[in-house]
């Protein structure tokens, strides 16, 4: 039975991952997320149902559009796989319940943001708002009023801290130091982790981004690093650690 549940959650993750990759392309390009049905970005030809099966279609079409042979971005395949694997991992780790629901929200934000931020340096407001509202609903169901207020205050404090850092950074570097999306993500991070773990996750994310920026800067002179995915990965790491009662500071 457990195996069947795992497979179902994996497939659920694959399907959502496919949707996230799709909206990760559509939102930055200003295309409706509901209509039209899936199409090839190059030749605009609508896709048949069998070209829309997560993972398999990419392999079966050998990563090319069936009509115009344009290469399909590997991001689609990777987003589907990542979402499926992380969904089932978090079910195995947390079991059903509050932690699982929160973690699939974080994984979902990661899946969309990897597509929008890495490719377009863009983090969607809609994704942030939806994830915050979903978390609040989960909290309303599982937590009592005092805890909920703590998490909301934490969200606002984290947002305030990051906004202050941005103002200082903008002055120091005389250009935009942090994107608006990164600052809005603080609301989600504070709401998920609370203040202390939230700040710790910020440190984890910054160290990861710093290491990668040193590696990438060698190749790319501009060395722009989209910070969003790091922020969410740091949040997920911290969420896993704090579930086990582990804290770094």
CB 183 within 8 A of CB 201: no
Q: Which is nearer to Zn ion, 44 or 126 (CB)?
A: 44
Show contacts with Zn ion in window 130-189 (CB under 5 A): none
Residue 65 in contact with Zn ion, rule: CB under 5 A:
yes
- Least separation in angstroms between residue 67's CB and Zn ion is 5
One of 43, 168, 215, 224 touching Zn ion (CB under 5 A)? 43
Q: Which is nearer to Zn ion, 43 or 140 (CB)?
A: 43
| Three-class secondary structure of residue 116 per DSSP | helix
Both structure tokens of 66 = 């069936």
One of 7, 8, 68, 248 touching Zn ion (CB under 5 A)? 68
Residue 40 in contact with Zn ion, rule: CB under 5 A:
yes
Total interface residues for Zn ion by CB under 5 A: 7
Contacts for 164 with CB less than 8 Å, ≥ 6 apart: none
Residue 67 in contact with Zn ion, rule: CB under 5 A:
yes
Q: Which is nearer to Zn ion, 42 or 62 (CB)?
A: 42
Q: Which is nearer to Zn ion, 68 or 129 (CB)?
A: 68
| Three-class secondary structure of residue 31 per DSSP | coil
Q: What angle do CA 74, 76, 80 make, to 5 degrees?
A: 120
Contacts for 21 with CB less than 8 Å, ≥ 6 apart: 75, 76, 79, 80, 111, 115
Q: Which is nearer to Zn ion, 49 or 173 (CB)?
A: 49
| Three-class secondary structure of residue 46 per DSSP | strand
Contacts for 212 with CB less than 8 Å, ≥ 6 apart: 225, 230
Applying CB under 5 A, which residues contact Zn ion? 40, 42-43, 65, 67-68, 70
């Amino acid at each position: 039975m457990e195996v069947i549940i795992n497979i179902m959650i994996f497939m659920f993750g694959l399907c959502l991952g496919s949707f996230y990759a799709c909206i990760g392309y559509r939102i930055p390009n200003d295309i409706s997320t509901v209509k039209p049905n899936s199409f090839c970005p190059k030749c605009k030809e609508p896709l048949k149902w069998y070209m829309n099966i997560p993972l398999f279609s990419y392999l079966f079409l050998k990563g090319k559009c069936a009509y115009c042979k344009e290469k399909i971005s590997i991001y689609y395949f990777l987003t589907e796989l990542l979402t499926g694997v992380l969904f089932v991992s978090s079910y195995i780790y947390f079991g059903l319940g509050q932690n699982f629901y929160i973690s699939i929200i974080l994984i979902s934000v990661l899946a969309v943001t990897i597509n929008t931020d890495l490719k377009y340096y863009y983090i969607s407001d809609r994704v942030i708002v939806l994830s915050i509202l979903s978390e609040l609903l989960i909290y309303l169901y599982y937590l009592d009023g005092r805890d909920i207020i703590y998490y909301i205050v934490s969200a606002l404090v984290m947002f305030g801290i990051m906004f202050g850092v941005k103002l200082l950074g903008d002055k120091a570097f005389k250009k935009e130091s942090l994107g608006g999306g990164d600052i809005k993500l603080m609301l989600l991070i504070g709401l998920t982790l609370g203040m202390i773990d939230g700040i710790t996750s910020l440190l984890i994310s910054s160290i990861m981004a710093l290491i990668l920026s040193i590696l990438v800067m060698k190749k790319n002179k501009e060395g722009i690093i989209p910070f969003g995915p790091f922020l969410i990965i740091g949040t997920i790491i911290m969420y896993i650690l704090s579930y086990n009662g582990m804290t770094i500071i």
